[in-house]
Amino acid sequence: MGQPMFLVAVSGFIGGVALHSFFDVGAAFSLFVVFLGISLFVYYRLKKRQHPGQDFKVTLLLSVSFICFGLGLIRYDISLIDRESALTRRIGENVELSGIVVEEPQDRENMQRLVVEIEEAETKALVWTTFYPRFEYGDRISVSGILKEPQNFESENGRTFDYRSYLAKDGIYFEFMRPELEPVSKDHGSVIKKYLFGFKHAFVENFKESIPEPSSSLLAGLLVGEKSSLGKDLENDLRTVGLIHMVVLSGYNITLIADFIMKIFAFLPRALGHTFGIISIILFALMTGGSATVVRATIMALLAVAARSSARIYDVARALIIAGTVMVIHNPKILIFDPSFQLSFMATLGLIILSPKVETRLQWIPAKYKLREIATATIATQIFVLPLLLYMTGMFSLISLPANILVLIAVPYAMLLGFFAGALGFVSFVASLPFAYVAYALLAYQLTLVEFFASLPFASIAIPYFPAWLMVGVYLCGVVFVWWRNRRRVPTVPDNIIYLPE
């Protein structure tokens, strides 16, 4: 499939999903759009047969666009099938239900957060309860309390967050607040997930024995995306200085981890080493809970490994589009209602498109310790996600660039040393101490900088009004500008092509 055909097909499908996310167009309209696309394709084939020398490419692209647009509408229609539930009629009532904890429990401030799959209705509910008794993934529990529907709320900056749709993207349509819980039985989840979660907890506890808080919590966020014990103040500081991506397993973290995993198996024959590396990367994604950010970055890493094993050119932009499209096909609701997916995708796209152009203007920054690389990546991603961030949060960090440069320089070394501290903890506590001490020094350095930058006056400013139409308009202007520049430029090797060595 040529580049124009590929882009038209993806744009059509994504456009259909996006439209249906806001408007219920109905199944009849979706089928009509697909029928219209098929009719245009039949017309194209007939005209091509009658006039083989003429070019009807526009008609072909239009037919593909309509077909994929209709398929996007239909895919979103299918995702709404599980929305209806017998429990909807019982909202506000005191109910007693049984269910299984299907996600790893999380600690949020002074409450324990459980995602429970209700067996009577084959749907999910969010359960907020006290820290004790503790529950685990795979536990079957009895829930007795007032059944509620999640409610949208207003954030601190006065913006309304569509909390209901945010939960619905994961199939969660109901909520319990401090119900009565009774454990029934255990071990009803995936055996693989159970042992991976158990290994993660043991791994984190290993370095928490030698690295004090809050440094150990920061390391847990860097390595496995565990941020439940960070504390609200530290999370707010990280957001203020534009560094919250460090503890949500961003693409940056996953790239470092995937590269490290592949190096571990480098001594094996290439095919065997890549096989073990791919399996390890997938297991790591499962262990960390498989969030949108982790899945997207994992798919990107797997595509890179596949390209390297076949000694083919790896087009990063196309790989990102494929990764994002596959995720939207699997769960179309994440396109509009998952901020993590949106920010992760746009940040990576900005890195691909803007990094080469930004780097040419930062030659005055030394390349030592990856200072220029970090500055380039930070500027490129911050510029690209800025309209989306302003629309989502209305907050603009004024000190994000210096904070990222000074903090991220220590992140790879803290992650590597922290990993050794956790891994060696399974063998000997004493053996892990040297790595833990150095990791602690690097983590303390990062926390000190975060606290310093967050304490500065006007570290971030609030933008009171930045609507969706303005965000879309800014990005459309950017697309038009890039298209105009490319038309004037002499053709060269694209910036987003990476040649991978065998």
Give the pLDDT band (50/70/90) at residue 67: very high
pLDDT computed for residue 253 by the predictor: 62
Q: How far apart are CA 234 and CA 240, in angstroms?
A: 10
At 178 the pLDDT is 92
Judge whether 29 and 73 are in contact, CB under 8 Å: yes
For residue 145, give the 3-state DSSP assignment: strand
Per-residue pLDDT, 488: 65
pLDDT of residue 496: 45
Mean pLDDT of 275-292: 74
| Residue 469: DSSP 8-state | H
Query: CA-to-CA distance for 247 and 245, rounded, in angstroms?
Result: 6
Instruction: Please give the average per-residue pLDDT across 307-325, as a whole number.
Output: 69
Cis peptide before 269 (omega within 30 of 0): no
- Distance, in Å, from the CA atom of 181 to the CA atom of 384, rounded to the nearest integer, reads 45
Give the residue with greater pLDDT, 489 vs 347.
347
pLDDT at 312: 52
The strand pair at 94-101 and 111-118 is best described as antiparallel
Give the pLDDT of residue 308: 56
Pairing of strands 111-118, 106-108: antiparallel
Whether residue 150 has pLDDT greater than 80: yes
Phi, psi (5° rounding) for residue 117?
Answer: -90, 115
Q: Is the pLDDT of residue 321 over 90?
A: no
Give mean pLDDT, residues 243-252: 64
Furthest-apart CA atoms within the chain: distance in Å:
81
pLDDT band at residue 116 using 50, 70 and 90 as cut-offs? very high
Which pLDDT value is given to residue 495? 47
Q: Which of 62-71, 259-268, 346-355, 378-387 has the highest mean pLDDT?
A: 62-71
Cα(89)–Cα(143) distance, rounded to whole angstroms? 18
Backbone phi, then psi, for 492, in 5-degree steps?
Answer: -135, 180
> What percentage of the chain carries pLDDT values higher than 70?
86
What confidence tier does 76 reach under pLDDT thresholds 50, 70, 90?
A: very high
Residues 10-35: tens digit of each pLDDT: 999 999 999 999 888 888 999 999 99
Distance in angstroms (rounded) separating the CA atoms of residues 54 and 46: 12
Q: Which helix (H) or strand (E) holds 286?
A: helix 270-287
Average pLDDT (108-127) is 86
End-to-end Cα separation, the chain, in angstroms = 25
Across 111-116, average pLDDT: 91
Once rounded to an integer, what is the mean pLDDT over residues 130-156?
88
Q: Catalogue the long-range contacts made by 27-30 (C-beta closer than 8 Å, 24 or more residues apart).
A: 27/74, 27/77, 29/73, 30/70, 30/73, 30/74, 30/77
**141, 112 in Cβ contact below 8 A?**
no
Mean pLDDT of 267-284: 80
Return the closest-CA partner of residue 170 out of 326, 285, 333: 333
**Could you give the percent of the chain with pLDDT greater than 90?**
21
- Is this model's pTM higher than 0.85 or not? no
Residue 266 or 245, more confident? 266
**pLDDT-based confidence at 437, cuts 50/70/90?**
very high
**Tens of pLDDT along 355-403?**
888 888 888 877 776 778 777 877 888 788 888 888 887 778 788 878 8
d(CA 479, CA 126): 40
Token pair belonging to 486: 């490319």
- Give the C-alpha separation, 403 to 416, whole Å: 21
Contact 126, 167 (CB under 8 A): yes
The DSSP letter of residue 404 is: H
Which pLDDT does position 181 carry in this prediction? 92
| CA distances, 116 to each of 200, 360, 361 (Å) | 21, 51, 51
Q: Taking residues 187-199, what's their average pLDDT?
A: 84
